[in-house]
């Protein structure tokens, strides 16, 4: 019985260091030449992603305009203050869903948002509109005049 009262080594639960991932889809872009009465492609994509098999911790939301209107459909992928964020455009909900899902899944496994180039779906390699550094990312040295 005395052994039961002996102090036991307590280990803290493994800390969760990976922030949630948020995928924001513009739901209002129009497709050139598309049926103006049809559901907008971004809305179709947002609904599809919302029911797709994405990793735990990934949420999908729709917003009206990401200011990438000429690159419809467009999405923003972000994941907390330590990850780079990405905007991708020219996405087609009919043909790109599997690649988008794979790209989001790869992103969600990172702590910094940087998926190795060869592991990114081709559409993410070729259709990036912008990448945005984490807020805490250090600046280049602006006092050096090295033209780099």
Q: Which residues bind ligand FES (CB under 6 A)?
A: 26, 28-29, 65-69, 72, 74
Smallest gap from residue 145 Cβ to ligand FES (A): 37
Nearer to ligand FES, 29 or 108 (CB): 29
The nearer residue to ligand FES, 78 or 115, going by C-beta atoms, is: 78
Q: Which is nearer to ligand FES, 31 or 102 (CB)?
A: 31
Q: Considering the complex, what minimum distance in angstroms separates the CB of residue 148 from ligand FES?
A: 32
Taking the complex as a whole, how short is the minimal distance between the CB of residue 66 and ligand FES, in angstroms? 4
**What's the 3-state SS for the chain?**
CHHHHCCCCCCCCCCCCCCCEEEEEECCCCCCCCCCCCCCHHHHHHHHHHCCCCCCCEEEEEECCCCCHHHCCCEEEECCCCCCEEEECCCCCCCCHHHHHHHHHHHHCCCCCCCCHHHCCHHHHHCEEEEECCCCCCCCCCCCCCCC
Which C-beta is closer to ligand FES: that of 65 or that of 122?
Answer: 65
Provide, rounded to whole angstroms, the least separation between the CB of residue 50 and ligand FES: 17
């Amino acid at each position: 019985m005395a052994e039961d009262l002996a102090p036991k080594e307590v280990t803290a639960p493994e800390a969760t260091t990976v922030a949630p991932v948020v995928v924001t889809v513009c739901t209002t872009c129009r497709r050139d030449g598309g049926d103006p009465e049809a559901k907008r492609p971004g809305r179709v994509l947002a609904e599809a992603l919302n029911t797709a098999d994405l990793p735990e911790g990934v949420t999908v939301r729709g917003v009206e305009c990401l200011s990438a209107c000429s690159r419809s459909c467009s999405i923003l992928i972000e994941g907390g203050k330590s990850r780079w964020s990405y905007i991708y455009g020219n996405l087609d909900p009919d043909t790109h869903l599997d690649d988008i899902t794979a790209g989001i899944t790869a992103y969600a496994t990172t702590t910094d948002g940087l998926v190795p180039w060869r592991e990114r779906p081709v559409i993410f390699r070729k259709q990036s509109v912008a990448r945005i550094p984490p807020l805490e990312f250090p600046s280049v040295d602006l006092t050096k005049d090295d033209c780099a």
